[in-house]
Structure 1
Amino acid sequence: MTGNPSILRVGRIPYANLLPIFHGLGTAGMPEGVSFVDGHPSELNRKLRDGELDLAPSSSIEYAVRPDRYLLCPDISISSKRRVMSVLLLSNGPLRQLPPDPIAVTGNSDTSITLLEILLRESLGRANLLVRTELPAREALRRYPAHLVIGDEAIRAAVDGVAPHVTDLGEWWWRETGKPFVFALWIAARSAWEDRRDLLSRFSAALLESKRSAQAAIRRGEYPWGGPDWIPPDFRDAYWRGLSYDLGEEAEGLSLFYGLAAKIGRIPAAPPLRFFEIDQGIDVVKYGIMPGGETMIDKSMKIEDVLRRYPQTIPVFNRFAIDCGQCQLSEYENLEHGAKVHGIDLAALLRELNESLAVKG
């Protein structure tokens, strides 16, 4: 056990994309015993890795590098539906005319750097050296042909017109894949689940409630959390509407990202997504079942999609004698039809598939 077991140490990133979530936590209330630790994404990754944090909105690549050390809070992420507007490649020339010279990248990100490397290789066939720098954007562009910036620094660079050419990495990913991109996950140390389970569960329930409150406000076009005055209101409106805090269909983009990260050698293999349980009184997130009874895996999902998004379900299919690797229809067949064809109890199959998505204590 590390740290005070009565205190839950939660990372907090000082970026506009998390203002709605932390505003909700501050106004709706959360359990006692929570201590916030501020830091940029790469800094929080390190603290989580070193046992200095219990839970943090950390880079999605951090989970993939060390999946055995972490669990995920279900149904929440920081993702872009298409444009992200705060992860930008600034360049002196058009994207497709970038020279083979080194590209400057922020020292505050891990996921965005891996994403840029993937897009350069897969889309442009480039293998530019990526050099971390703390230089301001204007200075970096005097030394390098392009510079990757994230967070409020990226928003400010876009607002101020720092570079003649700006490429939004979320939109670039969407053009190449047609999928959302998951930049961050709420990652918990397994030791926190073992030592601070009740407090972690109660805080995470408050976190999900804050998410729902923020989403409702965004749908109404209301932003009670404000935001930096230097960001134009129209920009802020487009920015928050372009974000997703869910982890449903977003998981498809995450699985694809992990597969490509493994392909270029940045992680050993695409990891299974393992979630912890959240006790919310009458609502329980358990075995992949979300508040209100909605399951992460339902009968309408195609078998192939389930396998791709949740590889940890393979043993369940095997137990039910569904050999999906040999079945030519798995790409098209949904779970309901598959259960009927194989003479399987659909409710039992769905229950065990969803049970495989969470880690019980």
Structure 2
Amino acid sequence: MAVFTPVSEADARELLTRYSIGEFVSLRGITAGIENTNFFLETTQGSYVLTLFEVLTQEQLPFYIELMHHLASKGVPVPHPQALKTGERLTRFKDKPCAIVTRLSGGYEASPSAEHCRQIAATLARAHMAAVDFPIQQPNLRGLDWWRKTTPAILPFLAPEQSELLTSVLDEQIALAQSEAYQALPRGPAHCDLFRDNVLFDGTFEMPRIGGIIDFYFAGCDTWLFDVAVAINDWCIERASGVFKPELVDAWLSAYAAVRPFTSEEREVWPRILQAAALRFWISRLYDYHLPRPAQTLKPHDPTHFERVLTARRTSPAPVLP
């Protein structure tokens, strides 16, 4: 478990005095995540997730907290940040920024079906449309500028052919970002990390029911197409090869387009945006693997997975947007 900041039961009881969400019942560390310290928090009034932010700053956090509040208020199934007695939704605890959000029901589906893909795709499209009038602007902090800044730090760890692949794709993305088609892409607040383990489902495998989208702490204003590409690069692939499963891709893209149709500019740049989504996670996993931050127990994800995904995106035709 990635626990950067220990929290005791006494600590949690003290924190709860700032809220009106019941008395302390239990606290349990969450066995996932490499950016924040997370705990399941049970009170006499409900189930919550307590997060201490280890990387994001007090100035950056209102975007994420208020975005979740905005979406939840519009009926999108996301964790709802709880207000303190002062009315704010963000505090400091153990000298770290801190928030408590509602815990959604369900669990993540490791091997999603076409129906799982349809439900999450439609929900993501709803989230994009619901966020159109969100007033806070903040860039995707793991976007192109971060890729450019981080690449020199990880290149010394790579084999020559890996360096060539990474730098070639990065150069192509820099050029793409300057194109008219890219500048015309629909954009706004985006999740930017919609992997299958960030979505919860209730029900059965045959009849799933979406519980909601979690972990918005990589969100930022970006192209909505990038958000779609991040998702299908995880939801719709053969794990071993990174190659797409056509029936899952078709279900995902059709369900999304039924809520928010794709534009001609999105169709034009789609193959390169798929590569951008793979590059983003290859770079971040390389960084976490070779330059890890201290933690009590921290197991970075395997960076070679997204090297395979990126290679697959460059060697196979991109699926057609509906």
Q: Taking structure 2 as the reference length, what is the TM-score of the superposition?
A: 0.27
TM-score (norm 1): 0.25
Structure (1 or 2) with the larger CA radius of gyration:
1
